């Protein structure tokens, strides 16, 4: 008898949940990933991506004001900032005088495509412009590992951060559609079938929906806890469910399996086939 294949190893990744205070309360920046995106095509997600070799380079770490190494190591902090800029052109950085925001971004914006193709250019381009990445502006939020049954798995660190002044998202290779919205509104739109949101994103929007302001959510992230969360599939009288550990700081710990990335992708492809 052939032994069952081992599940694919999770790919290290990092993402940033950018927050701001809107007219109706806390808002998060979301991006709709292009249909040609390498993962989660067509779904609404937080800006982020895979950790690259450069993220563990001491030279890159020396070009940043790093946050504490625990709970999330410097490579994950750097990957989160790098991917944030590559995916939506928002830069958390400071110049030599400590100024942040629009001017710092403009000095790197013309090199965005080069950085996307070759992340190893980051340390040199930052040094040439006298910039330091503001990794200490990232607040630890959660670490999620994709369930073993998924065909593609990630070990993804999530940070929250206040939106830097004077910067708006600009489309890139992975995404070109962005929106600021209250978490509760995004969840309602998904329930109406207007948006595709996978389990990990849904759970984090549900957690964010508890807070009335960006400062309140950032304070919650600083308090923690920050456990590693790997959902499991369980059978219940109500059907298949996804469940997360009891120690995870989320308002809900069980959701229907229809919200898994596997089922969301099936539903998305079925709708696309009907339109074809």
Tens-digit pLDDT string for the chain (276 aa): 555 667 789 999 999 999 999 999 999 999 987 665 455 567 899 999 999 999 999 999 999 999 999 999 999 999 999 999 999 999 999 987 777 666 778 889 999 999 999 999 999 999 999 999 999 999 999 999 999 988 889 999 999 999 998 899 988 777 778 999 999 999 999 999 888 999 999 999 999 999 999 999 999 999 999 999 999 999 999 999 999 999 999 999 999 999 998 888 888 787 777 776
Determine the Cα–Cα distance for residues 12 and 184; give it in Å rounded to an integer. 29
Q: 86: closest CA among 40, 37, 42?
A: 37
Q: Which of helix, strand or coil describes residue 210?
A: coil
Exposure string of 88-100, with b = 16+ CB inside 10 Å and e = fewer, is bbbbbbbeeeeeb
Tell me, what's the pLDDT at 181?
A: 97
Tell me, what's the pLDDT at 42?
A: 77
The tokens for 10 are 């999770």
Determine the Cα–Cα distance for residues 205 and 22; give it in Å rounded to an integer. 16
Tell me, what's the pLDDT at 3?
A: 56
Strand order through the sheet with 254-256: 232-236, 239-243, 254-256
Q: How many other C-beta atoms lie within 10 A of the C-beta of residue 67?
A: 18
Rg (CA), the chain: 19
Tell me, what's the pLDDT at 102?
A: 62
Strands 11-22 and 154-162 come out as: parallel
Tell me, what's the pLDDT at 116?
A: 92
Determine the Cα–Cα distance for residues 229 and 104; give it in Å rounded to an integer. 35
Exposure on the CB side of residue 179, measured as CA atoms within 13 A: 12
Backbone φ, ψ for residue 201 (5° rounding): -70, -45
The tokens for 200 are 């990990």
| Residue 205 contacts residue 197 (beta carbons within 8 Å) | yes
Tell me, what's the pLDDT at 216?
A: 98
Q: Which residue has the tokens 């993962």?
A: 39
Q: Which domains does the chain have, with CATH numbers?
A: 26-275 (3.90.79.10)
Tell me, what's the pLDDT at 4?
A: 63
Determine the Cα–Cα distance for residues 127 and 131; give it in Å rounded to an integer. 6
């Amino acid at each position: 008898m052939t032994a069952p294949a081992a599940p694919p190893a999770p790919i290290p990744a990092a993402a940033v949940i950018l927050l701001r205070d809107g007219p109706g309360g806390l808002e998060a920046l979301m991006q709709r990933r292009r249909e040609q995106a390498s993962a989660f095509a067509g779904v609404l997600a937080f800006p982020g991506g895979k950790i690259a070799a450069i993220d563990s380079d001491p030279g890159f770490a020396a070009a940043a004001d790093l946050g504490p190494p625990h709970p999330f190591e410097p490579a994950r902090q750097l990957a989160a900032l790098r991917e944030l800029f590559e995916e939506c052109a928002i830069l958390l950085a400071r110049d030599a005088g400590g100024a942040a925001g629009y001017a710092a971004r403009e000095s790197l914006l013309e090199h965005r495509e080069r950085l996307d193709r070759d992340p190893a250019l980051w340390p040199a381009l930052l040094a040439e412009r006298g910039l330091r990445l503001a990794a200490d502006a990232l607040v630890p939020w959660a670490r999620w590992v994709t369930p073993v049954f998924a065909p593609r798995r990630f070990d993804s660190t999530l940070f929250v951060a206040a939106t830097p002044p004077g910067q708006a998202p600009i489309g890139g290779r992975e995404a070109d559609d962005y929106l600021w919205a209250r978490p509760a509104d995004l969840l309602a739109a998904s329930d109406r079938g207007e948006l595709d949101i996978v389990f990990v994103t849904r759970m984090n929007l549900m957690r964010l929906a508890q807070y009335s302001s960006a400062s309140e959510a950032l304070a919650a992230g600083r308090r923690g806890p920050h456990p590693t969360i790997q959902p499991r599939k369980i059978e219940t009288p109500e059907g298949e469910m996804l469940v997360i550990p009891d120690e995870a700081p989320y308002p809900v710990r069980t959701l229907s399996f229809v919200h898994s990335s596997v089922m969301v992708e099936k539903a998305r492809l079925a709708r696309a086939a009907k339109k074809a």
